[in-house]
Amino acid sequence: MHRHAVRDRLASAGAWALGLAWLAPLLYAAWTAFHSAEYATRFDLLAPMTLENFARAWAAAPFPRYFLNTVLIVALIVGAQCILCTLAAYAFARYRFRGRDLVFGLVLLQLMITPDILAVVNYRTMRLIGAVDTIWGIALPYLTSAFGIFLLRQTFLTVPKELDEAARIEGCGSLGVLWRVYVPAARPIYLAYGLVQVSYHWNNFLWPLIITNSVETRPLTVGLSVFSSVDQGIDWSVITAATLITSGPLLIAFLIFQRQFVQSFMRAGIR
Amino acid sequence: MDRERPSLAGFLLVAPALAMVGALFLYPLGYSLSAAFTGPDGRPTLAHFGKAFELYSGDILFTIFIVVVSTAATAAVAIAIAGILVLGRPGRAVALLGWLYRFPLFIPFIVAGQCMRTFLAKNGLMNNSLVALGLIDPGQGASLLDWRGIVITFVWKQVPFVTLLLAGAMAALDRATIDAARNLGAGRVRTLFDVVLPQVMPNLTVALTLSFVTMLSVLSVPMMVAGSQPTMLTVDMAFRINAYGDYATANALGVLSYAMTAAAAFLYLRHGLRTGVLR
CA pair distance A160, A180, nearest whole angstrom = 14
The reply to whether omega before B230 is within 30° of 0 (cis) is: yes
Asked whether the beta carbons of A205 and B109 are under 8 A apart, the reply is yes
Residue, of A161 and A79, whose pLDDT is higher: A79
For residue B190, the distance in angstroms to the closest alpha carbon of chain A comes to 15
Q: Which CATH superfamily is domain B47-275 in?
A: MetI-like (1.10.3720.10)
Phi, psi of A216 (to 5 degrees): -65, -20
Asked whether the beta carbons of B1 and A95 are under 8 A apart, the reply is no
pTM (predicted TM-score):
0.79
CA pair distance B159, A25, nearest whole angstrom = 15
Phi, psi of A95 (to 5 degrees): -120, 155
Instruction: Determine which of A118, A154, A183, A237 to mutate to test the interface with B (most B C-beta atoms within 10 Å).
Output: A118
Please give the average per-residue pLDDT across B107-125, as a whole number: 78
CA pair distance B88, A132, nearest whole angstrom = 52
Distances (CA, A) of A4 to A9, A140, B131, B189, B239: 9, 57, 34, 14, 56
Q: Where in chain B are the domains? A: 47-275
Closest listed residue to residue A16, CA positions, set B191, B129, B6, B88: B88
Residue A66 C-beta-side C-alpha neighbours within 13 Å: 26
**How does pLDDT run across A179-203, given as a tens digit for each residue?**
999 999 888 888 878 887 888 888 7
Answer yes or no: do A94 and B2 touch at CB < 8 A.
yes
Please give the average per-residue pLDDT across A164-171, as a whole number: 88
Rg (alpha carbons) of chain A, rounded to whole number:
24
Asked whether the beta carbons of B271 and A108 are under 8 A apart, the reply is no
pLDDT recorded at residue B1: 45
- CB nearest B106 (choices: A18, A199, A228): A199
Given a cut of 80, is residue A127 above it in pLDDT? yes
Residue A77, number of CB atoms within 10 A of its CB = 23
**How does pLDDT run across B145-157, given as a tens digit for each residue?**
888 999 999 999 9
Answer yes or no: do B1 and A112 touch at CB < 8 A.
no
Closest listed residue to residue B92, CA positions, set A84, A13, A132: A13
| Structural domains in chain A plus CATH codes | 60-270 (1.10.3720.10)
C-alpha A8: how far from its chain's center?
Answer: 37
**How does pLDDT run across A251-261, given as a tens digit for each residue?**
787 777 777 67
Given a cut of 80, is residue B49 above it in pLDDT? yes
By residue count, chain A amounts to 271
Asked whether the beta carbons of A226 and A61 are under 8 A apart, the reply is yes
For residue A141, the distance in angstroms to the closest alpha carbon of chain B comes to 6
B107 neighbourhood in chain A, CB within 8 Å: 26, 203, 247, 251
